[in-house]
Structure formats: C-alpha cells, structure tokens
Chain A
Amino acid sequence: QQQVKQSPQSLIVQKGGISIINCAYENTAFDYFPWYQQFPGKGPALLIAIRPDVSEKKEGRFTISFNKSAKQFSLHIMDSQPGDSATYFCAASLGGATNKLIFGTGTLLAVQP
C-alpha cells in the first residue's frame, strides 16, 4: 500500500513535443507529491511538487496534473527540449515527523533533436 507505480519506464520524444509520465498510488495518507529530475552522475533534484488539495500546478514548461479520486498524478513537459533528457522520479510523502519519501521506479526520458 506504500508503493508508487510509475510508467512508462522509458520514453522517447521529439524536440518540441509533449512528454507525459504517469504515477499511481494506493495510500490515501500521502499528502505531498513531488517530481524529481536526475541527470547522469548527479543526485535527484526537486523539479515540481503538488499537494492533494490542488488539481494542477504549473511551473514554466512543467505541469503536474493530480486526480485525487483516481489516486493518480502525472508530469507533463511541454515543448520538450534535449536538455530535458534525464531520469524522472515521482514520489509521495507519508508526512509525520519522519517525513519519508516513497519513490516510483523512474522514467528515462530522451528528447531527440
């Protein structure tokens, strides 16, 4: 019940296209849903995050769509660029004093020029 399921495992998009990565969860106690971006040789870094009282959050070309009833959330990258090529992880937080993050399995995105 603490899993976060992420798909697809890999994604190839043409420059200028839209990249979409999906995640699903079971535990309704999750109260914070971030996306992390990881470039080769680096640790993951926070990209964008949303709380369940909001259905959408947009920051530049990156948008999270959140469907509380379906227990699903997704990352949309508009006008995808080669520099967006990275591994993307969705995550969910259980909250509480320990503030533990549960991660999805990751999506390797390649944006072709």
Chain B
Amino acid sequence: DVKVTQSSRYLVKRTGEKVFLECVQDMDHENMFWYRQDPGLGLRLIYFSYDVKMKEKGDIPEGYSVSREKKERFSLILESASTNQTSMYLCASRAPKLTMNTEAFFGQGTRLTVV
C-alpha cells in the first residue's frame, strides 16, 4: 500500500517561530510537492522538488523554504511563522510523467495554527 506520511496532524506554533513540516514517501517517487489548502482557495502549490536537492517555487513561495536531502523526504520550512500562515498543509508525491503513472498521492495533512 503506497504511503505519504506527514509527521504531524496538528501543530500550534507562536508567531516568529521557525517551523518544520516533514513528509516521507515510500514509493521511490522523484517528484514531491507541498500544497496549502484554504477554504475557497483550493490547493495552492508552495514548492515542489523533482529530484534530490532540486526545488522550484510554486505559486505562493513567500515565507517558505524547502529541503530535500534524501529522495523519500521533503521538508517545508516556515522561516518565521506568521498568523496568515495558519492553514492546512498537504504533501504529495508523484512519479515522473515518462513512467505514465501520473497519480499524485497525498499525505493526511498537517493543520498548522500560528498564534
């Protein structure tokens, strides 16, 4: 059974803290993604990675950074948490297009509250 695991279901952090959200996948996928989900705004792409140590900005990268030191792990970092970063964060992984296996697999999400 394929799996994307996010380290925390719920997090409460203080404004100004550095926050790490961790994601691990067991499918040997090259591509991993971090999305943010907010009511009425859908899933917005923050950052994605197409290989170890490779990353690209998504649509809303401001205030975030990422790290991918190993193929199976993709971390989202909030450098200095702010209240407008309170949201549901979803990690996903996906095989490269050339394999024709194009389903994206999501983790269960991390509900982050910044107070």
Contact = CB atoms under 8 A, between A and B. Distances in A.
B11 to A, nearest CB: 15
B43 interface: yes
Contacts of A104: 42
A41 B6 CA distance: 13
Nearest to A51: B102
A101 B41 contact: no
A46 B45 contact: no
Contacts of A11: none
Contact of B108 (A9, A41, A105, A106): A41
Interface string A31-50: 01010100001111110010
B21 to A, nearest CB: 14
Contacts of B104: 34, 36, 46, 101
A108 B101 CA distance: 28
Interface in B3-43: 4, 31, 33, 35, 40-43
Contacts of B48: 98, 100
Interface in B87-113: 90, 92, 94-98, 102-104, 106-109
A106 B94 contact: no
Interface residues of A, number: 26
Contacts of B64: none
B103 A46 contact: yes
A89 B41 CA distance: 11
Contact of A89 (B42, B50, B96, B108): B42
Interface string A87-113: 001000101111111111110000000
A101 B90 CA distance: 13
Nearest to B31: A99
Nearest to B49: A98
A46 to B, nearest CB: 5
